[in-house]
Amino acid sequence: MKTKLAISVALAILVLPAICLAAPGRPGPYVSGFIGASIATDIDVPGTDFLTGTNFDDRVAFDPGINIGGTGGYDFGVIRLEGELSYKHAEIKSITDQTGYRYRRVDGSLGTFAMMFNGFVDLHNESRVTPYVGGGIGFAAMHLSDTHGTDTRLTPASSPLLYGEGDDTVFAYQIGAGLDIAMNRHLSLDVGYRYFATDRANFDSDRNIATSMKLESHNATVGVRFKF
């Protein structure tokens, strides 16, 4: 958390002079759509298996996934305010339990539908390329699928249910920056980066397994923005 705060403060210090010098853009409403890659970081996953009466604390890694969504907002000239809907999907790549054992052939995924309210500062200049910085807060509806993994310690080897399917809605936030590249007065190309994170979601499965999981991801996107 201290590292994130330091990064945010550093960004604010770096862009403050540019904000003061930025020429206002043309105000107006806009809509946009984007698609890109979402790279979720490794996370700790605590939980309880009520059938065996044991607690577990796993380390979960994800494969790169997809991030797709759209926004609608208003450009006030230097500041933009918008609402965003997006979906991020990450397949679980590996699960390592607290003893250091890594399950084979893991099959499971985490999907996140986010509803965000964002604010951005556009650093207008004489060129067609406008850098911007900002962030947002909102909520994330998260879905964890049934997750199995092969345990070769068993004889014969089997694929027990490690996490049960579940849903939860939690607080989410993001910070990021990007470049808006104007094609004409109405249409522009948006290339951006977002760091996205959620609070820890609790998935209380009806299969006697309770799991706690959050999402932290780095997201690179390409999109188009249309200003009316």
pLDDT tens readout for residues 125-135: 989 999 999 99
Average of per-residue pLDDT across 197-204: 95
- Which pLDDT value is given to residue 156? 83
The tokens of 122 are what? 């556009």
Q: How far is CA 208 from CA 55, 90, 129, in A?
A: 12, 24, 54
Q: How confident is the model at residue 76 (pLDDT cuts 50, 70, 90)?
A: very high
Q: 223 pLDDT exceeds 70? A: yes
Pairing of β 129-144 and β 209-213: unpaired
Domains of the chain: 2-227 (2.40.160.20)
Average of per-residue pLDDT across 175-187: 95
Round to whole Å and give the CA distance between 100 and 160. Answer: 17
Round to whole Å and give the CA distance between 182 and 131. Answer: 11
pLDDT cut 70: percent of the chain above it: 88
Contact criterion met (CB below 8 Å) for 35 and 68? yes
126-163: b (≥16 Cβ within 10 Å) or e: eeeebbbbbbbebbbbbbbbbbbbeeeeeeeeeeebbb
* Amino acid present at 216: E
Round to whole Å and give the CA distance between 82 and 108. Answer: 33
Which distant-in-sequence residues (6+ apart) come within 8 Å of 21 by Cβ? none
State the pTM of this model.
0.86
Contact criterion met (CB below 8 Å) for 197 and 174? yes
pLDDT tens readout for residues 86-114: 999 999 999 999 999 999 999 999 999 99
The tokens of 45 are what? 């996953």
Dihedral sign for Cα atoms in the order 51, 57, 61, 66: positive
Q: 199 pLDDT exceeds 90? A: yes
